[in-house]
Amino acid sequence: MTARDSRPTVLTVVGARPQFVKAAPLGRALRRRVREFLVHTGQHYDRDMSDSFFEDLGIPAPDRGLGLGSGPHGKMTGRMLAGLETVMAEVRPAMVIVVGDTNSTLAGALAAAKLGLPVAHVEAGLRSFDLRMPEEINRRVTDHVSDLLLCPTPTAVRNLAHEGIRRGVHRVGDVMADAIRLHLPRARRRPRTIELAPRSYYLATLHRQENADDPERLGAVLEALSCLRHPTVLPLHPRTAQHMDALGLKAGGLVRLVPPQPYLEMLRLQAEARAVLTDSGGMQKEAYLLGTPCITLRETTEWVETLRGGANRLTGADPRRIARAVAAVERKRPRWDPRLTYGDGHAAERIATIIAAAVRSRR
């Protein structure tokens, strides 16, 4: 941001891994039209979980880092709310942009709404209809205080209509499709850091509170992964590592535990895996966009479109259901065209155009 730039300022809040991925294409498109002031709450702070994403994705350094770290939900969200309020009161942006469904999203949306600043929510309208998930609470509250609701899919638009939200709703496509379009060629050119031939392994991730914080479910998923007949790469999220250590749980069989992987390495690992097994929201969609079958270690998904034709299967944490889903994918690899669902990989341009028009009309 240069001192002489007289264009309106928008303030984007990021904090956790999935937001860095989405903020990259978004920031590029926004900065062509408005000034972007980027705030990092510090929800994710390890090098593996944060800095490497900024480097891989070419995101400019944040204009402000709050360095707040993680913690229990209330405390974390409360600290972010206070920190973001101070920055927003100082910067007085024409609009605040929040992304996805993390505690950073919720804190950003609430801080802005309380200051009377308009809010744009990127990835609005997603619902798992499971209020035990912190992310579901974050999405719902954020949507209800947002002025611009930028939806990836028609399902998301319908979900909002069911809750009476119709104003400011736009279907724009999915920014993760943009991220893949921009970064996959680079990911494929990089030397592999994990030496496994394409289609010779499964890729698994596990971090959702409902799995990582529940000893029985965590043990059941690890058991299921340990029974797979091909190597399974498991980049271990710090939350999961903490619980495995505390409970003395181990992964056996052909499971390879590795640290959280940088974005580009993760893209390539997903693109070349036999299948992805995950409880992540973002990876279900990335696998779908990359044409890799997904097995989702949850009972619900907000990305319902991915379930069509067996591209994604819900198994919860039940080892028998997981084994059956893997066998089904091995018997016949499903095929699909992701463009029909998540757009053409130009969502960020659409979003930036809508936001720029909105802030100009408010001047």
Residues that bind ligand UD1 (CB under 6 A): 16-18, 43-46, 49-50, 70, 101-103, 134-135, 207, 238-239, 242, 280-281
With respect to ligand UD1, which residue has the nearer C-beta, 55 or 90? Answer: 55
Q: b/e string for 185-196 if b means 16 or more Cβ within 10 A?
A: eebeeeeeeeeb
Using the minimum distance from each CB to ligand UD1, give the nearer residue, 9 or 103. Answer: 103
Q: Strands 64-65, 275-278: parallel, antiparallel or unpaired by DSSP?
A: unpaired
- Terminal C-alpha separation, the chain: 20
- Measured CA to CA, the distance from residue 168 to residue 148 in angstroms comes to 5
- Closest separation in Å from C-beta 194 to ligand UD1: 19
CA dist list (Å): 295 to 292, 311, 332, 347, 348: 10, 8, 14, 26, 28
Token pair, residue 4, equals: 């002489």
Shortest approach of ligand UD1 to residue 341 CB, angstroms?
20
Write down the least CB distance from residue 71 to ligand UD1, Å: 7
Please report how close the Cβ of residue 60 comes to ligand UD1 at its closest, in angstroms: 20
| CB nearer ligand UD1, residue 126 or residue 356 | 126
CA-to-CA distance for 104 and 62, rounded, in angstroms? 15
Question: CA 362 from chain center: how many Å?
Answer: 30
Nearer to ligand UD1, 207 or 217 (CB): 207
Give the type of residue at 199.
Answer: R
Give the type of residue at 31: R
Catalytic residues: 207
| Nearest to ligand UD1 of 33, 40 (CB atom) | 40
Backbone angles phi, psi at 313, to 5 degrees: -130, 135
Tokens of 177: 């499709």
Closer residue to ligand UD1, CB minimum distance, 183 or 207: 207
Q: How far is the CB of 148 from ligand UD1 (least distance, A)?
A: 21
In whole angstroms, give the CA distance from residue 80 to residue 40. Answer: 10
In 10 A of CB 270, how many CB atoms? Answer: 24
Least gap, CB of 94 to ligand UD1 (angstroms): 26
d(CA 346, CA 176): 10
